Amino acid sequence: MPRVVVVDLGMGNLRSVERAITRAADDRGLTCEVVRSGRAEDVLGADKVVVPGQGAFRDCAAALAGEVGEALREVVRQGKPYLGICLGLQALFERSEEAPGAAGLGVFRGEVRRLDPGSGEGAVKIPHIGWNRLETQGTAEGALGAWAKTAPHVYFVHSYHAAPEDPSIVVATVTHGPNVITAAVARDNVTAVQFHPEKSQGAGLALLGAFVAA
């Protein structure tokens, strides 16, 4: 039975993520053990890790500065499947405009930037909250191939997004005012989304189910 560890960084409603993973597995007729933990040994012992989070990048960076952060880097190095959600995507990058001097995991080169509200008739509200339709870039594989040819609407709550140095890792975007937002990235065993699959109804469950099944 695969062991999926939902990494507890002390940020966000992890219970809703746990429930969504369990339901997504059930919908596919899969059996998995879902464990919530903030301990490095549990992260290292996982078959797959899910890193959710809501809140400030500096708090996330502080939580990742010790053994849990190094355990996550090791999980990535070992090739175990990693799924980042919201702040769990942003944490993969080196730094964020939100918290100068705070270091992310550095799995991907690049930084996290504040969304631009724009001006005049094109101005939008920040944070970006609500449903938005994904615009896929190329052919999505792995868990991000869960929707076949139909890009779904998914649910966002955020004020910052990732700006990777390597644009080839971006597999989905959304548009919000003047912003082309990095909505999903993937490379090898690492997949991460800026939106919340646990709040995205059927589309989100499809993604989580595909991650568990992969």
Active-site option among 128, 161, 176, 196:
196
Q: Is 198 a catalytic residue?
A: yes
Active-site option among 18, 60, 86, 176:
86
Question: Do residues 189 and 76 lie in contact, with contact meaning Cβ atoms separated by under 8 Å?
Answer: yes
Active-site option among 18, 98, 111, 198:
198
Best CA proximity match to 187, nearest among 25, 30, 76: 76
3-state SS string for 150-203: CCCEEEEEECEEEEECCHHHEEEEEEECCEEEEEEEEECCEEEECCCHHHCHHH
Q: Which residue has the tokens 């992890």?
A: 14
Q: Is 158 a catalytic residue?
A: no
Q: Is 196 a catalytic residue?
A: yes
Largest distance between two CA atoms of the chain: 55
Q: Which residues are catalytic?
A: 86, 196, 198
